Amino acid sequence: MDIRCTDKELFVFNKIGHAAADLGIEAWIIGGFVRDKLIGRNTKDADIVCVGDGIELANRVADRFNPRPPVAFFKTYGTAQIKLKDFYDHQDIEELGISEKGDDPLAERGDDSPAEDGSAPPSFRKEGGGEAAFEIEFVGARKESYRYHSRNPEVLPGTIKDDQDRRDFTINAMAISLNKADFGTLVDPFNGIKDLENKLIRTPLDPLQTFSDDPLRMMRAIRFAAQLGFTIHPPVFQAIKDNVERIRIISQERITDELNKILLSNKPSVGFDLLYKAGLLHIIFPQMIDLVGAEFVDGLGHKDNFYHTLQVVDNISRHTNDLWLRWAALLHDIGKPPTKKFEAGHGWTFHGHEVVGGRMVPRIFARLKLPQNEKMRFVRKLVELHLRPISLTKEDITDSAIRRLLFDAGDDIEALMMLCSADITSKNKQKVKRYLENFELVKLRLHEVEEKDRIRNWQPPITGEMVMEIFGLTPCKQVGDIKNAIREAILDGKIDNNYDAAYDFMLKTADELGLKPVI
């Protein structure tokens, strides 16, 4: 495996190496940057660990740029961050001596020189291209010890070995030297590169201790399995199952951050299935567990709504990276367990589950510390409307029904239609094909009615202010009744969607209420 850096990245790493050398300390790139470069995954940040003061190194590195980037530091944790953008030109590269072949001015040996253990290091050279923004985190090497009831460790200065020992997984414990004597050498004490090749998630040390020390690592293991398509080593997965109760000491914000990352992976079902099988989902998201399983009475059963939901999430993930649309997919049937009922001679029903599910969304978002703003309202709206387009495939589609759907969905109609398409699942491929063909007819009718009536985000041509002025009213129930009557008449197609038709209908409705115009 090769580590191929962009010219911008190599430029920065040379500056870090020189700055560390000036301070008389050693430094390495460690963790996710190394992992992602080895597997060809895009990355926009890097972690630097040094045997010394990470904040001091960050400031020395910043001094080497003109203009000097600001250094954000957290003294309590001994960490610092630099965000770099548009940070060099070709003259800078020439001064550093980086040639088109990616020669490294710090390294006196060639790419193929052996490492200290006799193994050949990966190639560490320039690769063209790359974005002009880069985030660098600096921290001093450390060793940690934990108290059982807290995930806040006691931290002491340490060596590069100590720092790699405390890492969560072997694939995240690999480091690349930035030191003159062995610049570019891979430091891989736990054979993480082999685990990358085997697509395996293992812990550097005893997994029971690893997860007890920091229970969030259990969710990170599952998140990496979902993101990378890797398998969790069986003893590691067993250790997760044995430690599930420890997740309770982790803050909800950090748990939800991992849930979001799982939901944004290419195939979220992998992560949620592992969360369920490990027992973590029972603690962090019990409403999802209520969806699990299929119940049968008199030979009549319903689908397993948990795995149906995961399939819907996977379906929608093929078409969008929108986190909140994925949340809508995850919660679209969350109201089924409380509405489930068996009706003799008919079977299982979930009447009104979309309404109940919509009401559950704010509570779920609050518990998970998700935003209570327009994002939550978007998810709730889609949960409440997700049956409407599908129901239109089972009847003659009237313009009135289409207009009402367009009016209620507004600008979210495309997202709603995407969710509804994803919700069409069955083991019977012909059945799915037939439903999707019928659904295409609904899409066509939506387009036709929208082109004709322009009803999306529509407001009736007569406003409440106009009603009050014409009839000499103050805000009251009669004003609302007249406005609603006009809106319903237009949506039902009883009158045309224009001012004259609405005005005449308003006069008629007001007359029935005993109101006369004053102007």
Task: Supply the CATH number for residue 36's domain.
Answer: 3.30.460.10
Q: Give the range among 18-27, 57-66, 298-307, 448-457 with minimum mean pLDDT.
A: 448-457
Binned at pLDDT 50, 70 and 90, residue 230 comes out as very high
Rounded to an integer, what is the distance from CA 83 to the centroid of its chain? Answer: 23
Residue recorded with tokens 């997919």: 329
Binned at pLDDT 50, 70 and 90, residue 93 comes out as very low
d(CA 288, CA 161): 41
Q: For residue 457, what pLDDT is reported?
A: 55
Q: Is the pLDDT score of 105 beyond 80?
A: no
Q: For residue 94, what pLDDT is reported?
A: 46
The average pLDDT across 297-304 equals: 79
Collapsing DSSP to helix, strand or coil, 147 comes out as: coil
217 or 458: whose pLDDT is higher?
A: 217
Q: Is the pLDDT score of 132 beyond 70?
A: no
The average pLDDT across 317-327 equals: 96
Q: Are 160 and 175 in contact (CB under 8 A)?
A: yes
% of the chain exceeding 70 in pLDDT: 86
Q: Is the pLDDT score of 103 beyond 80?
A: no
How many other C-beta atoms are found inside a 10 Å radius of the C-beta of residue 250? 18
Binned at pLDDT 50, 70 and 90, residue 344 comes out as confident
How many other C-beta atoms are found inside a 10 Å radius of the C-beta of residue 374? 10
Its domain, for residue 93, covers: 3-198
Q: For residue 38, what pLDDT is reported?
A: 94
Reported for 299-302, long-range contacts at CB under 8 A and 24+ positions apart, including other chains, are 300/342, 300/347, 300/348, 301/348, 302/340, 302/347, 302/348, 302/350
For residue 46, is it within any domain? yes
Q: Is the pLDDT score of 190 beyond 90?
A: yes
Selection from 71-75, 148-152, 395-399 with the highest mean pLDDT = 71-75
Binned at pLDDT 50, 70 and 90, residue 436 comes out as confident
Q: For residue 87, what pLDDT is reported?
A: 56
Q: For residue 220, what pLDDT is reported?
A: 97
Selection from 227-241, 389-403, 415-429 with the highest mean pLDDT = 227-241
Q: For residue 453, what pLDDT is reported?
A: 65
Q: Is the pLDDT score of 149 beyond 70?
A: no
Domain limit, last residue, from 198, 226, 259: 198
The average pLDDT across 283-297 equals: 92
Q: For residue 274, what pLDDT is reported?
A: 98
For residue 375, is it within any domain? no
Q: Is the pLDDT score of 379 beyond 80?
A: yes
Q: Is the pLDDT score of 133 beyond 80?
A: no
Q: For residue 444, what pLDDT is reported?
A: 79
- Give how many domains the chain has, as a whole number: 2
Binned at pLDDT 50, 70 and 90, residue 106 comes out as very low
Rounded to an integer, what is the distance from CA 337 to the centroid of its chain? Answer: 26
The average pLDDT across 442-450 equals: 77
206 or 91: whose pLDDT is higher?
A: 206
Which H or E run contains 195? helix 192-198
Q: For residue 440, what pLDDT is reported?
A: 79
The average pLDDT across 78-93 equals: 70
Q: Is the pLDDT score of 115 beyond 50?
A: no
Q: Is the pLDDT score of 151 beyond 60?
A: no
Binned at pLDDT 50, 70 and 90, residue 394 comes out as low
For residue 274, is it within any domain? no
Q: Is the pLDDT score of 461 beyond 60?
A: yes
Task: Look up residue 253 and give its amino acid.
Answer: E
Q: For residue 15, what pLDDT is reported?
A: 95
For residue 318, is it within any domain? no
Binned at pLDDT 50, 70 and 90, residue 401 comes out as confident
100 or 140: whose pLDDT is higher?
A: 140
Collapsing DSSP to helix, strand or coil, 164 comes out as: helix
For residue 277, is it within any domain? no
Domain limit, last residue, from 149, 183, 198: 198
Token pair of 333 as six digits: 């049937």
For residue 60, is it within any domain? yes
Question: In terms of Cα–Cα distance, which of 346, 350, 345 is closest to 309?
Answer: 350
Q: For residue 483, what pLDDT is reported?
A: 85
Q: For residue 497, what pLDDT is reported?
A: 78
Phi-psi domain of 493 (left: phi exceeds 0; alpha: psi -120 through 50; beta: other): left
For residue 308, is it within any domain? no
144 or 426: whose pLDDT is higher?
A: 426
Q: Is the pLDDT score of 320 beyond 90?
A: yes
The average pLDDT across 305-333 equals: 96
351 or 395: whose pLDDT is higher?
A: 351
The average pLDDT across 1-12 equals: 83
Selection from 137-146, 192-201, 505-514 with the highest mean pLDDT = 192-201
Indicate the average pLDDT of the chain.
85
Q: Is the pLDDT score of 165 beyond 60?
A: yes
Q: Are 181 and 129 in contact (CB under 8 A)?
A: no
Q: For residue 295, what pLDDT is reported?
A: 84
For residue 110, is it within any domain? yes
d(CA 418, CA 407): 17
Domain limit, last residue, from 144, 176, 198: 198
Which H or E run contains 403? helix 399-409
Within 13 Å, how many C-alpha atoms sit on residue 467's CB side?
A: 27
Burial class (CB in 10 A: 0-12, 13-18, 19+), 105: middle
129 or 492: whose pLDDT is higher?
A: 492
241 or 475: whose pLDDT is higher?
A: 241
d(CA 165, CA 178): 20
